[in-house]
Structure 1
């Protein structure tokens, strides 16, 4: 029973210390002063403001002790913290020129970029700079190399889609075909299965069995798609009759 009670008892979560500004510290001291009965500050009052502001008990007690010392001396209350403007670890700034000088082959991942900047920046810092928007992710898709004949063919196709040229005022307007009578067809090949696939199974579950005639020549299926603009004329149809 003793072991069961120990397992069921909740583990107290550690409260996060919060750095109060001087204005917030003075406001907290004034609230604590209202709970003061003339002799000592009730411990329940400290616990109340610890839970209210998500502070550490030592932080609240320190603010009260600091303010009480000024009352004993008879001076004006000052519960400001002792931190100066330059405290804490210095912020690491990202130099864009250093990033640009890194080879693109080393910039495929944040870890690779961090290794290239190992002297100046760690992987965690590089990731933080990415989250802050100093770096951006780019998917670089390969582009086809167009020959002069390819460029000429594309230009001829664009010219063939012109239905007329009109002069409206001082502007020359070009009207292109609506492409209502065009159907664009494209196909995509898919493998029926992969070389290896991962599954999550239970401990006593049988492993699935998958086989094919040849691992080098896996059966393919083709998905054919046709896209066209709809036409409206009382009824809905896609191509000209």
Structure 2
């Protein structure tokens, strides 16, 4: 079998070396080549005898180490040897978290260049953890939670199913965001939004009512009762370059005891009864 290689000198590929090694093994007995096997393999595959002998010697060394006749490429054994940075990376273990927040700071602790530390990231030896600060419960908060749990224990020492409880919460949301993502067709124009300031976006207080999910009348209810915002529409008192006096404006309404009671009577209680 002739190798599909040009006559000029070049390195053998892995497939070429496997073909040459298979031909040599076919002309060997107990790991010893027959007389003239190197010359026959060199003439058959149109390579030099020195190349065939080199392939066979590598295969013999591989057999002594692993018990397999494999002739690896010299590409696997060239280039700068990998440097073990285990001792350098172990310096991070005792360093405080605030002093290794960046790659450059961590590289200074390990006493290696930042590029070398970045290669360790790509090799999977390091990772980045982005943690969020968690709130600490005070003793008063723990007692409040314990009292809340104790209030839902029945006389028979079982927990209440809380199906008669409606949870109310106030959420503060922005009226819009400076950046929005929209899915468009290829021929649709991009929508244009205008804001007077991207740093000062109006907010709105929303009252949210939820309850425990349950089956009602044969259908499943997810427990979401409703949400009501505290917005109001008022006419502009003065004219400006943006609008005339009397133009209706949407503003955030006041949030106090009176408005909270009004929303309970007008929206929350009718919505609960409607469930």
Bigger-Rg structure (1/2) = 2
